[in-house]
Structure 1
């Protein structure tokens, strides 16, 4: 059996996958109906939409299988995401890459597989729309064209979800997106008794930038700051623009908080030195670790870190 390779941009790909927050979700009718259509259109017993996590394959939509998850190392889709176009296996038993794969020798006894990679709006390939049968079959050019059309509809659905959860100016999650993904991550981390942290940011003297140099310049500042926040995140960390010039970051490891803050400070200092602007991008922040108190929700933690940030901001004004 040949194990699937790893894309060169794996860490960035995972960041995008975690950002859209569809892992571990099921019974989403917009995706289930597409797999029902695929199953009927191609007359196959199994049609799936898969998402490839670091070590596992999650079946976002699933017709014809009783499982929702497999390991990534045995997945056909792990091979398919490395392709620019369709990935077709007409008879897995005759293919040296798959003949001894446990999904071929055991349930669901895959013989035929056809997968088409699906991408998020930023271009990251996150999984496939795929068809499976326990009997070999051919798959002609017309079949491939139809499979591609259906995969593009999946991508359209990703686009709609992304639009609702993303700040159109900065490209990072908006308030809705941050809390939608963040609350799930909050509960997951609490369930595993992990130490994590929240950092709340507010840009200093942002209004004068808008007033003196215009809103276009102010928008550029917001985009630069957002990019600087994003570049230092680990894949499962979450950043969001909560409104105006206010941002929040959920770091899944509290031990990384100071390192993250140091990297952010250093990279912004470099930017300010070389930007050639009549102003610097500066900020205030408040941090809060999950073990600092009893918090019923992410919102509770954000509110307290917000209060901590404003205390720092007031101190600056008095200096």
Structure 2
């Protein structure tokens, strides 16, 4: 058996996949209907939309199989994402790459496979839409064209999700996108009794920047701040613009909170020095640590961190007036 290789941009690909937060989701009708259509159109027992994580294959939509997750090392889709176009295996028993693959020698006894890579809006290839049959078969150019059309529809749905969950100005998750990703992370961390942190940020003197130098300048400030937040994230951390000049970061380990704040302070300070602007980008923040059971909901944690942040902001304002 030949193990699938890795794309050259594997780490960037994974980061894009995690940002979309599609892993471990299921029963999304927009994708299930496409696999139902593919199963009927091509007259196959199994039709899937797969996503390739670091070590596993997650089935975002699945018709004809009960499992939702397999090892990436044995997946056919792991090979398919390395292709620019279709990946066709007419008879896996006669293919040196797959004849002894456990998915061929055992359930679901794959003989025929046809997969077409699917990409996220940023171009990262994350998986396939694929067809599986337990008997060998041919696949015509007309069939390939139809499978390609379905792959493009999957990508259109990814685009819709991305637009709904992304702040159009800064490119990071908007309020809806933040809560979608962070809620899942919050509950996973809480259920495992893990310690984590939430940071709530509000820019200082943002309104005067808009008033004195215009909204275009204010927009640039928001984009710069979002970039600096994002560049210090770990792979399991979540950032979002909650609205206006308010941002939140969920850190998957509370031990990273001080490191994150120190790195942000340093990088933003360096930016202020070299930017040559008549103002500095400064911020107030509230930080909360949780041991996994302290807070019952992400909303509760966000609300309290907001209060902590405003207390800090008021203290700073009082000190400046003295």
Which category describes the TM-score, using the shorter chain as reference length? over 0.9
Deviation at 1:223, TM superposition (A): 1.1
Distance verdict in 2 for CA 1:292–1:303, change over 3 Å = farther
Deviation at 1:292, TM superposition (A): 8.8
Deviation at 1:81, TM superposition (A): 1.5
Q: What is the alpha-carbon distance in structure 2 between the residues aligned to residue 297 and residue 50 of structure 1? A: 31
| Residue of structure 1 in register with 2:265 after alignment | 265
| Residue of structure 1 in register with 2:6 after alignment | 6
Q: What is the alpha-carbon distance in structure 1 between the residues aligned to residue 292 and residue 211 of structure 2? A: 39
Q: What is the alpha-carbon distance in structure 2 between the residues aligned to residue 78 and residue 292 of structure 1? A: 35
| Residue of structure 2 in register with 1:304 after alignment | 304
Residue 12 of structure 1 contacts residue 235 of structure 1 at CA under 8 Å; is this kept in 2?
Answer: no
Distance verdict in 2 for CA 1:233–1:8, change over 3 Å = farther
- Give me the TM-score of the superposition, normalised by structure 1: 0.95
RMSD of the TM alignment (CA)?
Answer: 1.5
Residue 192 of structure 2 contacts residue 292 of structure 2 at CA under 8 Å; is this kept in 1?
Answer: no
Residues 13-24 of structure 1: pairs in structure 2 closer than 5 A: 13-24=13-24
| Residue of structure 1 in register with 2:166 after alignment | 166
Distance verdict in 2 for CA 1:312–1:9, change over 3 Å = farther
| Residue of structure 2 in register with 1:181 after alignment | 181
Distance verdict in 2 for CA 1:8–1:261, change over 3 Å = farther
Q: What is the alpha-carbon distance in structure 1 between the residues aligned to residue 200 and residue 290 of structure 2? A: 14
Q: What is the alpha-carbon distance in structure 1 between the residues aligned to residue 218 and residue 312 of structure 2? A: 23
| Residue of structure 2 in register with 1:217 after alignment | 217
Residue 190 of structure 2 contacts residue 293 of structure 2 at CA under 8 Å; is this kept in 1?
Answer: no
Q: What is the alpha-carbon distance in structure 2 between the residues aligned to residue 292 and residue 145 of structure 1? A: 49
Deviation at 1:86, TM superposition (A): 1.5
Q: What is the alpha-carbon distance in structure 1 between the residues aligned to residue 225 and residue 86 of structure 2? A: 39
| Residue of structure 1 in register with 2:121 after alignment | 121
Q: What is the alpha-carbon distance in structure 2 between the residues aligned to residue 217 and residue 281 of structure 1? A: 12
Q: What is the alpha-carbon distance in structure 1 between the residues aligned to residue 208 and residue 292 of structure 2? A: 35
Larger CA deviation: 225-234 vs 287-296: 287-296
Deviation at 1:186, TM superposition (A): 0.8
| Residue of structure 1 in register with 2:289 after alignment | 289
Q: What is the alpha-carbon distance in structure 2 between the residues aligned to residue 21 and residue 40 of structure 1? A: 29
Residue 5 of structure 1 contacts residue 78 of structure 1 at CA under 8 Å; is this kept in 2?
Answer: yes
Residues 174-253 of structure 1: pairs in structure 2 closer than 5 A: 174-253=174-253
Q: What is the alpha-carbon distance in structure 2 between the residues aligned to residue 276 and residue 207 of structure 1? A: 19
| Residue of structure 1 in register with 2:142 after alignment | 142
SS in 1 for 2:309: helix
- Give me the TM-score of the superposition, normalised by structure 2: 0.95
Deviation at 1:96, TM superposition (A): 2.1
Residue 193 of structure 2 contacts residue 292 of structure 2 at CA under 8 Å; is this kept in 1?
Answer: no
Deviation at 1:256, TM superposition (A): 1.3
Deviation at 1:51, TM superposition (A): 1.1
Q: What is the alpha-carbon distance in structure 2 between the residues aligned to residue 50 and residue 151 of structure 1? A: 11
Distance verdict in 2 for CA 1:293–1:72, change over 3 Å = closer
Q: What is the alpha-carbon distance in structure 1 between the residues aligned to residue 207 and residue 34 of structure 2? A: 47
SS in 1 for 2:157: helix
Deviation at 1:250, TM superposition (A): 0.5
Q: What is the alpha-carbon distance in structure 2 between the residues aligned to residue 92 and residue 222 of structure 1? A: 53
Residue 194 of structure 2 contacts residue 291 of structure 2 at CA under 8 Å; is this kept in 1?
Answer: no
Q: What is the alpha-carbon distance in structure 2 between the residues aligned to residue 220 and residue 315 of structure 1? A: 27
Q: Which runs of 5+ in 1 are unaligned?
A: none
| Residue of structure 1 in register with 2:256 after alignment | 256
Q: What is the alpha-carbon distance in structure 2 between the residues aligned to residue 118 and residue 318 of structure 1? A: 54
Deviation at 1:7, TM superposition (A): 2.5
